[in-house]
Chains A and B, each alone.
Chain A
Amino acid sequence: AQKVTQAQTEISVVEKEDVTLDCVYETRDTTYYLFWYKQPPSGELVFLIRRNSFDEQNEISGRYSWNFQKSTSSFNFTITASQVVDSAVYFCALSELTGANSKLTFGKGITLSVRP
């Protein structure tokens, strides 16, 4: 069975600070996808990134970066120079590639508050 653990529940930072959101996953599959989604107060889940299990390259997109380490089953997300608009709940999710169903297994989410 798959499992995603986001041990941090709430993080509060001051604007312009860097912040890292942790994600640890469990799966028996050798091929899988990892995702991060952002859920602002409006409720809609916004896709941020997808990472394939066979691609361990880290990725940077503007102020966002992701560190994927298969050895520790972690897929951490860093926001550099945080802004108030980054305040949201962030979910890490996992889907397996075997079978036809690519359902997502989510962690419980991390509530990030960025104070001006």
Chain B
Amino acid sequence: DTGVSQNPRHKITKRGQNVTFRCDPISEHNRLYWYRQTLGQGPEFLTYFQNEAQLEKSRLLSDRFSAERPKGSFSTLEIQRTEQGDSAMYLCASSYSGVWEETQYFGPGTRLLVL
């Protein structure tokens, strides 16, 4: 098992551009979460999928953000018309939702800088 992977690891973009990040979860994990982490803060929940269904979105997720998980495998997070305030680390986590046990395992993150 190779763990959760995320690509790219770093992204620098100009304000107004669109960016897309990819997350590949641990195989057989049915849940996938996206979080955002800004400097000096803990990660904050953005959205999550159970298989291919997006079941909850945080109020942090503005209309410029969209996430997909086609076929319940990898997921993409797209930010349209990026703003400087979008600069952050975007973390993906996956888990298997058992009866009493659920532990989220995180990927290395994608660090976004919007100039």
Chain A residue with the shortest CB-CB distance to B91: A45
Contact indicator B56/A103 (Cβ below 8 Å): yes
Task: Give the CA-CA distance A43 to B105 in the complex, in Å.
Answer: 13
Task: Give the CA-CA distance A47 to B55 in the complex, in Å.
Answer: 24
Chain B residue with the shortest CB-CB distance to A33: B102
Chain A 89-116, CB-CB to B under 8 Å as 1, else 0, gives 0010101000011111111110000000
Chain B 95-109, CB-CB to A under 8 Å as 1, else 0, gives 101001111111111
Count of B interface residues, CB-CB < 8 Å: 29
Task: Give the CA-CA distance A41 to B106 in the complex, in Å.
Answer: 15
Contact (A47, B42) CB under 8 Å given A101-B56, A102-B97: no
Chain B residues within 8 Å of A, Cβ to Cβ = 31, 33, 35, 40-45, 48, 50, 55-56, 89, 91, 93, 95, 97, 100-109, 111
For the complex of A and B, list the 9 residue pairs with the smallest distance between their C-beta atoms, beginning with the closest: A106-B42, A45-B106, A103-B45, A44-B108, A101-B56, A43-B109, A102-B102, A106-B43, A91-B42
Besides A45-B93, A103-B33, 13 other CB < 8 A contacts?
A4-B42, A43-B89, A45-B91, A45-B106, A47-B103, A50-B101, A100-B97, A101-B48, A102-B104, A104-B35, A104-B93, A104-B104, A109-B40
